[in-house]
Every structure is written in C-alpha cells, then in structure tokens.
Amino acid sequence: MTERDHVTVNGPRGPVYSGDGDQYVFYSGPDWMIRRGVAHLRIVRDDRVRLADRFVRPTGYRVAAERLALPGSVVLLEADPGSGRRAAAIMLLHELGEVGDPDEEAVRFDELPATDKEKEGGGEAPFSPAAGDRYLLDLSGISGEESYAEAQHRLIAYRARIQEAEAHLVAVLPWGMAHVRAPDLEPHTVRLGRPRGIAVATRHLRMDRVPFHAGDLRSADLQRLFDRSPMRELARFAGLVKTARDSGRFGSTPAGWLDQAMHAVTDRAGEVREQMAAVDTTADRALLITTAVFEEAPADTVYEAWHALLRTVGHREDEEATELGRPDFGASLARLGIERAPDGRLRFKRLAYADAVCTYFWTNFPGVRDDLRNWIGEAARLRGLTADDRMNVVVRFCERSLAVARPDHLFDLVALWADRATGASGDPLAVRVLELGLSHQSLGGWFRKRMYDCCVRPGPLSDGLARALIAACVRSLATTHPNQALVRLHHLALREGQVGREAEEALLGLAGRDHGLHRLLIDRLRDRARQEQQGAEPHLRLLIHLMTHGRPPGPPSWPDLFLGWETVFSQPPTRLWNPLVTSWLNAAAADSTREMALGVMVRATHGRAAALHRLYAIACDWAGPVNHPSRGAVAALFWQYIDDAQYARTVATEQAGAGPRTTEEAR
C-alpha cells in the first residue's frame, strides 16, 4: 500500500469477530475520513489485524484450524448466513502466521475470484501458489445449482494446485446447497456454529474503550438483539454505542448509549416509514433527504443544497409567495425532527436516523436516483462545505448507490469531477469514489473493468480523469490487485504529455515494490515490443527506464535483467541503448558487485556482431579520453567480455562451416 494512512487498533488480542457481508472500516487520514470495505481480493494486513482484535471464535473453529495447519490443506466452511463465516475464514488463514513474523510478508494472502466475471478487465496472473501461501475463496454469494456446479469445478482445480504446492485454502460455501455438493468435497467440510452474540458485542465495546458493566447488557431487549441479529448488525450496534458516547448528546452513562444504539439498529426503518407517511409535500421530503445526505454540514449550506435539489427534481415553489411569506427554515427543521447544533450544523435528533432516511429514499424512490446523482454532482461542490463535509456527502451517496447496484452513477460523478479538476493531482472526490467502488465486495469487478476500458480506449482522455485513475491504481488497486494496477498504469504510461509521465512514474514505483511485479512488467513489455514491431519504441523506452530506475531493492535479479536486455538489444532503435548501458557501467564503477551486469549484457546480444560493436562504442564514449581509474577498469573488463563473445562467435561459425554440406550428410 502506498499513499493511504491507516490506524491499526492495538490492544488485547483474542477472539474476534466481524460479520459476513459488506462492512465499512474507518481510518483517519490527513484530509478526510475514509470508509473502505474490509473485504478485498488481496486482504490487507492492517484490516486483518483490526479484525483479529474483534473476532469471537465460533464452535467448530478449532477443528477447522487443526485441519488447515497441515501443508496443502483445503478447508470448506459451512455456516448460517450472518454467523460471521467470512470473518472466520479470514481469521483461520490469518492465524497461520503471526503478525510481526518475518515470514509474514513473504507469503501471499489473497482472495481467489469466485466467478469468471470477477476476472474481467485483464491483468489476472495465472494461479501459481507457492508453499505457505494462503487463499480465501468466498462462494457465499453463489446462487443457483448451475452456478454452484461451475464454482465447484473451479474449487476442485484450486484444491489440486493448493495440495501440490503445499499452500492453504479456506472456502466459504453457499448456504442451503449441501444437496448438490460434490461428494469428494465432503471430507474437507467443517460446520461452524454461531458465536455468542453477547460475546461479540462485548468484545467490540471493549476494543472501542466504551465503559460498561456486565449488567448493562442483560436487558430483555438487548438479549433478543444478541440472540437474533447477524454478526454485522452486532458490530454496527457496538459502533453506534461508541458514536452515542462520543457525541455527548445522549447522557453520560452506558444505559443511555446502549438504548440509543439498540433503537438505531432495530427501530429506525419503521420510524422513517411512519414519518414518510405523514410528510407528503415535495419540499419537506426534499429537506429530509438533503439533511440526511448533508448531516453535520452548516445550516446555510444545507438550505442551499435543499433548494438545489428542489430545482433538480423540477419542483416549482409558489411564485407569488416571497421568501418572507413562506414558512421559516427553522420551523421546517423542527417539524421534521432536525436540530441546529450550537456550532450551526444540522443533524437529526435521533442517532443514525440519517442513514435510515437515505436507505428509505434510495430503496423506495428509484425514479429519482438519476436526479439525486445530478444533484450530488453539483451540491458536493458548494462553497460552504469543508473537505471533510464533502467527503462525508460523497461517502453517503456512494454507500446508497452501491447498495442498489448503480455503480454507473458513481462513475458518472468520477468523470464529472475529474474533468473539472485542475492541478497536478487527481480530484480527491473522484479518487475516493473509485476507491469505494473498487473495495466493494460484489461490484469491485465492475469498477476494475470500467477503469480498464478507460485506460485502453483510443483517443483523448482528460488529464483529470487520467490522474484520478492513476491515483486509484496506486492507492487502492495496487493493494488488492497489483497485477491489474500494473496493466492499467502501463496503458496510461503510453499516453503523451505530463499525464503519461506521471503514469510511468507510478508504474515504475509499483514494479519496484517486489521482484514478482518487476518480472511481470518485464515480461509484459517484452511481449508488447515483439507484438507491435512498428510501435515497439514506447514499450522499449519503458523497459529501459524499468531496468535503470525501477528495480526493486536488494540484489539484482540477473535472469530478469537478461530478458530485458535481450529484448532491447534485439531491435532498433539503438540510440535507446546509451542510457541503459551507461547506467549499468556507472553502477559497476560504483559497486564491484554490479560487475556481473557486464557479462550478462554481453550475453544478451547472443553474439551479434552489430550489437557487440555498438556496446563497444558506448563503453568507449563512457570511459572518455580522461584517465578515470574506476571507469577504465570497468571498460576494460567490458571490452574483454565483448572480445570473448566475438571470439566464441567466430569459432562457432568456423565449426559450422566445417560441418556436413549435404542434406544427406546432415541426416
């Protein structure tokens, strides 16, 4: 991960939980609060650490852990929806390696695509596990016997590779489809129970430093909540308790915080339905949704956003009434249960009421979703909003649009905001929308594909959108799908101008993170240079920059560099060779361990006379007429390698000339 700031929760370790399904985790950043899905196709270590602090082991967990500990093990989890089955799968894999273990970063910890649709957009590397690698396969979203049959074929193929490589795989099985499960998968299946709800809530509250006594959690209403709610709801409940405490609006004792949080989880949807039944004017409904989206924004800005929404939906106010003739703003707020805080910002009187209002509108008014998108596109830029206010507005809109499967609305906003951006960095709102979309468990593939289409599309691409794509690749996609980030950055780096140079810098930075990505990019550039003979030069330039400025730390990988040099030395233009060869001559002069590069470069020419002559000339220019002892020694060694290669080629040619002359003799 590159430019993202994280807060890792430190504290007592032990049984933890996070529920299955989408969940948003809060991080503190320099400019705004970021919400990001905990579920990634490359499961980020900091997320796992946070999860480990809150996880409660369900029944059956120990059996699964014992099986998974064996090299080449595959464990299939069967559990009720809402029981935290995905979290259990992640923690089983996480606990195979202790955080802080030097080998922790040496193995892969990835999620495998459950369906072919998740591979859309290109850049997926072949599945090639190594010893100790850990993989998650979440099939819980599979529906239909045909889809499950295809998923099982994929699972069986994964299992064979896992066992051969002595890696580890945990798969979460879909619920209610045991009757069509392949018989040879049964021995790998472990049934998990539901964790104790009160233990989950208690663990979360303690990790959030919320003071409470055991007796505070024993009311009948809370007990029903703990016994019946999905794990994700219990995690949300604990978070709302903390929010109630931190707000200072609901008393100073745990009883008040717990009561508000319980009603927020159980009653808010019904309360919003009741209010909507009583509120039947366009103006009042528009004020409700505006306040819900802009909660905690300044009152004057909410007022401005409210009237912007009325204009967007085509509402016409009484043209004969003046502003002074209409109901005052304060009366409208009070009538709808909205209060003005001492600092002048607006909020609902009830905890988490804004989220319930947003959910109601996006669910029950599908015909106005286009209007809401258009409205947010303009209203998120109102001058009275701070950077934090804008980000909160965008996050709420993203959450609702993703919940109703309208990712296209989000990308429309990305394009709108990015095209208007000025300066050398991508628009922060556009980048955040991309990050939220990429992190979504079921719609992340849609965003990866859409980004890919933008990157490869011929013709103009606005600088603002290109910069937003670069930033999203670096900050988000490189964390979860580094191979796909590399593909997209490569396409952007081929564009002309400053944006192309920025994409190249990001590409080389990504490839320089580890030898695997470095080798992947070398292979990709070699393939493109060979396939596009007439247009090979841009790929060759990138390849040269990669081998001179984009190398990962540690000793050079000579086989990888040989492949790159071989490609460069096998085709024109030879003028590109100078910076590549001289950079390595400089490296050899400064560090004797780099002298191996001299022989490797010469071998990469495969003895071609023209190539060897060119290397000789470059070394002569580099050594110069002035006596530089270090340069002179390196150049002499380089020339010796060149002479040896020429001699070997001469000998080989003579031997070939003395060989059989006729086809019959050759046989």
| φ, ψ for residue 33, nearest 5 deg | -90, 135
Q: Which residues contact 187 (CB under 8 A, 6 or more apart)?
A: none
The C-alpha angle 597, 602, 607, rounded to 5 degrees, equals: 165
Per-residue model confidence (pLDDT) at position 58: 96
Task: Summarize the confidence of residues 605-623 as an average pLDDT.
Answer: 93
Cα Rg for the chain, rounded, in angstroms? 31
H-run or E-run covering 655: helix 629-657
Residue 5 has pLDDT above 90, yes or no: no
Question: From CA 610, how far away is CA 513, in angstroms rounded?
Answer: 35
Please provide the DSSP assignment of 253-318 as one string. Answer: SHHHHHHHHHHHHHTHHHHHHHHHHH---HHHHHHHHHHHHTTTSBHHHHHHHHHHHHHHTT----
Q: Convert the pLDDT of each residue in 435-488 to its tens digit.
A: 999 999 889 989 999 999 999 988 889 999 999 999 999 999 998 888 899 999
Average pLDDT, the chain: 86
Q: Determine contact, residues 61/88, Cβ cutoff 8 Å.
A: yes
Per-residue model confidence (pLDDT) at position 585: 94
Chain position carrying tokens 């409940």: 237
Residue 584 has pLDDT above 90, yes or no: yes
Q: Which residue has the higher pLDDT, 14 or 578?
A: 578
The count of C-alpha atoms lying within 13 angstroms of the C-alpha of 466, restricted to the half-sphere facing its C-beta, is: 27
- Ramachandran region, residue 132 (left: φ > 0; alpha: ψ -120 to 50; beta: rest): left
H-run or E-run covering 36: strand 33-37
Per-residue model confidence (pLDDT) at position 124: 56
Per-residue model confidence (pLDDT) at position 626: 63
Per-residue model confidence (pLDDT) at position 554: 85
Question: From CA 119, how far away is CA 484, in angstroms rounded?
Answer: 10
The least confident of 230-244, 631-645, 646-660 is: 646-660
Q: Convert the pLDDT of each residue in 155-177 to its tens digit.
A: 999 999 999 999 999 999 999 88
Q: State which amino acid sits at residue 353.
A: Y
Task: Summarize the confidence of residues 624-641 as an average pLDDT.
Answer: 84
Per-residue model confidence (pLDDT) at position 423: 65
Per-residue model confidence (pLDDT) at position 664: 34
The model's confidence at residue 20, banded by pLDDT at 50, 70 and 90, is: very low
Residue 501 has pLDDT above 70, yes or no: yes
The length of the chain is 667
Residue 398 has pLDDT above 70, yes or no: yes
The model's confidence at residue 551, banded by pLDDT at 50, 70 and 90, is: confident
Q: Tell me what percent of the residues of the chain surpass a pLDDT of 90.
A: 68
| Among 631, 557, 561, residue whose Cα is nearest residue 603 | 561
Q: Determine contact, residues 271/57, Cβ cutoff 8 Å.
A: no
The least confident of 94-98, 125-129, 298-302 is: 125-129
Task: Summarize the confidence of residues 120-142 as an average pLDDT.
Answer: 79
Give strand pairing partners of 170: 75, 136
Per-residue model confidence (pLDDT) at position 657: 62
Residue 242 has pLDDT above 60, yes or no: yes
Question: From CA 241, how far away is CA 264, in angstroms rounded?
Answer: 10
Per-residue model confidence (pLDDT) at position 523: 93
Question: From CA 171, how far away is CA 139, in angstroms rounded?
Answer: 7
- CB neighbours (10 Å) of residue 623? 20
Question: From CA 284, how far away is CA 245, in angstroms rounded?
Answer: 30
Residue 26 has pLDDT above 70, yes or no: no
Which pTM was predicted? 0.83
Q: State which amino acid sits at residue 547.
A: M
Per-residue model confidence (pLDDT) at position 106: 60
Per-residue model confidence (pLDDT) at position 31: 27
Task: Summarize the confidence of residues 244-264 as an average pLDDT.
Answer: 94
| Alpha helices (H) in 420-443, listed in sequence order | 428-438
Question: From CA 505, how far away is CA 443, in angstroms rounded?
Answer: 29
Question: From CA 177, how far away is CA 151, in angstroms rounded?
Answer: 12
Q: Determine contact, residues 502/537, Cβ cutoff 8 Å.
A: no
Per-residue model confidence (pLDDT) at position 30: 26
Per-residue model confidence (pLDDT) at position 460: 85
Q: Convert the pLDDT of each residue in 33-73 to its tens digit.
A: 222 232 335 567 778 888 999 999 999 999 999 999 999 99
Question: From CA 645, how far away is CA 625, in angstroms rounded?
Answer: 25
Q: Which residue has the higher pLDDT, 628 or 85?
A: 85
Task: Summarize the confidence of residues 638-642 as an average pLDDT.
Answer: 94
The model's confidence at residue 228, banded by pLDDT at 50, 70 and 90, is: very high
Question: From CA 532, how far away is CA 514, in angstroms rounded?
Answer: 27
Q: Are strands 109-111 and 24-28 parallel, antiparallel or unpaired?
A: unpaired
Residue 314 has pLDDT above 50, yes or no: yes
